[in-house]
Amino acid sequence: MKHLSVLAEEDDDPMLSAINLIDVFLVLIVALLTAVAVQSQSAEGAITSVRNPGQPDMELVITENGKSIKFKGTGSASRGQGVRTGVAYKLDDGSVVYVPEPGEGAAAAAPAAASPVPAAPPAGETAR
């Protein structure tokens, strides 16, 4: 009986099997990277990007569900364009406590002693 010549060959070189394994892993890596790229492009969450960061014509673009919302900077700081609503204190443990201004909504009904405001420094001392 005559054998095929392909089956009759012996692979004496062990590097051929190692090279074949490397090829299989390369194909697997390319498939995983392609899957990650497709997943990130079709993400359902909002995508936020900043164009011209730090420049006067800076623009913030938020893309969600195919719709884009653009916010353009005015080129100046927003100083003086708001209303004071309260005071924030940083405590020694690193936590921040917000104390609303009296007369602001439901916070006005709470007694002043219930808010965690640090005591005023004695006369002649400055607050840290």
Indicate if the pLDDT at residue 99 is higher than 80: yes
Structure tokens at 37: 């790229």
Tell me the pLDDT band of 92, cut-offs 50, 70 and 90. Answer: very high
SS3 128: coil
CA distances (Å), origin 102, targets 57, 83, 95, 96, 121 = 38, 13, 22, 19, 20
pTM comes to: 0.30
Instruction: Give the mean pLDDT of 49-62.
Output: 84
Q: Supply the pLDDT for residue 111.
A: 44
CB-CB contact of 110 with 117 (8 Å)? no
Instruction: Give the mean pLDDT of 15-25.
Output: 84
CB-CB contact of 71 with 60 (8 Å)? yes
CB-CB contact of 56 with 73 (8 Å)? yes
Indicate if the pLDDT at residue 46 is higher than 70: yes
Q: Which has the closest alpha carbon to 75: 57, 93, 96? A: 57
